[in-house]
Amino acid sequence: MRTKALYRNIQRLLPAFEAAARNESFTIAGEEVGLTQSSVSKQIMELERRLGQPLFVRSHKQISLTPAGHRLLKAYTRAASQIIDALDDLLLERSKKQIVISTSTANAAFMLLPRVAEVRECFPGGEIFVVTSDPQGIQPTDQVDLALAFGKPDYAGFKSRALFADILTPVCTPDFLRKNGPLRAVVDLLNCELLYMQAQHPSWLGWRQWLREFGLELPKKHQPMGFNSYYNTIQACLAGQGVALGWLRLLGDLLESGQLVTPLPDFLETEERYHLAWPSHRRQEFDIEPFEAWLSRRYGGNIPGYTRASTALI
């Protein structure tokens, strides 16, 4: 109780102390904190009395800090800096416009993250926060402002706009093809390690559906290597562990750089399309069109080596 009484309201004395310590003058300190020179002197004397030791060495028309004064000034400055940082954060949170984009792990890894600067340009003045939600890419919470999903969203409370379909074909690394190729026909895939993502949503297509479009069934003895994430599937493919079913809209950068290749001329275009979705119960505070236009321009155009004439539709 004695300690609490000692420090009660002591904070009211600290601004005068800090100003005097920084300016080495009671007069200038008074001008800063709106007190007379004598009032500043009285407050500091009260502070010294309550601390039981001097904070200033006083000489004719000059003051300087004692070791105790230096210690108190250092602590006060550190605390003031933390308070200023907190105030800046609070002001920034009040003024900033955060846009929460929900999408699948694969869409985030292969579409958005490689082009953060381009995505940012679609939302001028807004802070972009990307959350991932598998399998479809929509997190049905009030915090989501916009979602990028493959397949029409099946969550209530969302409006959506269709974008473009995807094209599926086998992909592998050039080194895997050299060691295990050549692959001249679809049937040759049955001699390869097939990497796949376990289907978690009706919109997702796997090896069985793809092979059936070309008149083949996976033999019962054939056991592909499975993952619960398409990102992990492609990482295994990049490590040369096998052939993955490539969603070419997602993998354009890896194909363009030569890290992955398409060994067969057999393509499958999906009937499902990518969609932009947004909550229907509240008004959007930003324009969706720039992001939609960017997605269509960046990922919805022609794919090198692919022609619609050589494509089945599923």
Amino acid letter, residue 307 = T
* pTM of the full structure: 0.65
Q: How many residues does the chain have?
A: 314
278 φ/ψ angles, rounded to the nearest 5 degrees: -150, 155
Closest of 259, 245, 267 to residue 314, by C-alpha: 267
CA–CA distances in Å: residue 187 to residues 72, 219, 245, 259: 79, 11, 14, 24
25-46 tens-digit pLDDT? 989 988 888 889 999 999 999 9
Token pair listed for 266: 């057999």
H helices of 197-285, where?
Answer: 207-212, 230-238, 252-256
The Cβ-side half-sphere exposure at 70, using a 13 Å CA radius, reads 5
Written as one letter, the residue type at 246 is: G
For residue 95, what pLDDT is reported? 46
pLDDT of residue 302: 82
What pLDDT does residue 1 have? Answer: 44
Q: What pLDDT, on the 0 to 100 scale, is given for residue 155? A: 72
What pLDDT score does 90 carry? 63
Please state, in angstroms and as integers, the Cα–Cα distance from residue 184 to each residue in 170, 188, 245, 255, 264, following that order: 12, 7, 16, 19, 7
* Spatial separation of the C-alpha atoms in residues 161 and 159, rounded to whole Å: 7
Structural domains of the chain ordered from first start: 2-95 (1.10.10.10), 166-271+304-313 (3.40.190.10)
Within the chain, strands assigned E span: 56-59, 62-65, 97-103, 126-132, 146-150, 158-171, 194-197, 225-227, 243-247, 267-279, 311-313
CB 54 within 8 A of CB 67: no
Which among 10, 12, 8, 16 has a CA at the least distance from the CA of 41?
A: 16
- The whole-number pLDDT of residue 137 equals 63
273-277-281 Cα angle (round to 5): 150
Residues in the chain with pLDDT < 50? 1, 94-95, 309-310, 313-314
